[in-house]
Amino acid sequence: MRAVVHRKYGPPEVLHLVDVDTPTPAANEVLVKVHATTVNRTDTGFRAGKPIIVRPFSGLLRPRRQTLGSEFAGEVAAVGADVTHFAVGDRVFGSVGDRFGANAQFMVVRETAPIALIPDGMSFEEAAAVTDGSLLALNCMRGAGITAGQRVLVYGASGSIGTAAVQLAKHLGTHVTAVCATPNLELARSLGADVVIDYTAEDFTENGEQYDIIFDSVGKHKFRLCRRSLAPKGTYLGTDLGFLCQNPFLALVTKLSRGRRVVFPIPKFRQADVEMLKELLETGHLRPVVDRIYPLEQIVEATRYVDTQMKVGNVVITVA
């Protein structure tokens, strides 16, 4: 089969499309014929080996997992002897997190992994773009204990995590303020945002408003800069380690405080959560946002684009 591999850390050009052996599913695994996958922020970080703190997980000197791709959509091509939940021919989508392997024609996943059946009528390209941003947003919101009636601000509301966060926050019954660039204001409104702020024209920390939750979905803001925009017992949600890994440190320190705090949840991807996302897709409470679609042969070009940090929603890769 064809797969994208990188045998060293570096720029997008370290990615190469090569022939490798097709994996064989173990007794508790399914073999998925991948029709679509994505390139996301996790992929680019593990490809570059940056920040350096990822190296103990990704490999100190060279990549431990050479084929990236954390989310996918495709068809079950074979099942292990003990598999009962899925059958050959099922259309499935999901995420394998930092186990990776989706940038290939075939991949194996455990039957209990965060995967589910694709909703009827949804394309592989759309389904591939659902899980990563949505699961990360969902994990963060659970960590913050978001409840109906709260005021939530999503900073970076046009990215993969941000577009999911706006929709999930609205589904939970909150008042959502979306912060993004001028071209994406209408997108944020269409996803359900009650208020949109163009960060190129207005600094939300200067408008005098206070929010129960400030969700930095792109890792480009700081707790200290938006502290006064938080309600007295408000929460800053971080999705990035921050300068000198300050967000995990602040999460520990402010946990002891009765006032404003930082929450930096450790993502936990579960099959039950993907099943929930499937229901939200079917009821119209969630829709994936796809920016660009590239064939697998253009993985380098796709990765270059993601590296610009200007993508809107998701960048999808089709696998022939």
Strands 115-117 vs 91-95: parallel, antiparallel or unpaired: antiparallel
For residues 271 and 59, the model is more confident at 271
Tell me the torsion sign for CA atoms 106, 108, 112, 113.
negative
**Model-wide pTM > 0.85:** yes
For residues 242 and 48, the model is more confident at 48
CA distance 161 to 159: 6
216: left (phi over 0), alpha (psi -120 to 50) or beta: beta
What the chain holds in terms of domains, given with CATH numbers, is 2-130+288-318 (3.90.180.10), 132-263 (3.40.50.720)
Phi, psi of 79 (to 5 degrees): -130, 150
Query: What pLDDT score does 289 carry?
Result: 98
* pLDDT tens string 16-44: 999 999 999 999 999 999 999 999 999 99
With contact defined as beta carbons under 8 Å apart, do 53 and 240 qualify? no
CA distance 266 to 185: 30
Range of weakest confidence among 87-101, 153-167, 234-248: 234-248
pLDDT tops 90 at residue 281: yes
Range of weakest confidence among 19-23, 123-127, 249-253, 293-297: 249-253
pLDDT tops 80 at residue 249: no
Query: What pLDDT score does 243 carry?
Result: 62
Query: What pLDDT score does 244 carry?
Result: 55
Residue with tokens 């499309």: 17
Torsion on CA atoms 296, 18, 99, 302, rounded to nearest 10: -30
With contact defined as beta carbons under 8 Å apart, do 317 and 103 qualify? yes
Q: Is the peptide bond before 288 cis (omega within 30 degrees of 0)?
A: no
Torsion on CA atoms 291, 295, 301, 305, rounded to nearest 10: 10
For residues 303 and 227, the model is more confident at 303
pLDDT tops 60 at residue 116: yes
Query: What pLDDT score does 242 carry?
Result: 66
CA distance 320 to 229: 48
Query: What pLDDT score does 50 carry?
Result: 87
For residues 222 and 295, the model is more confident at 295
pLDDT, mean over the chain = 94
Range of weakest confidence among 207-211, 219-223, 239-243, 291-295: 239-243
184: left (phi over 0), alpha (psi -120 to 50) or beta: alpha
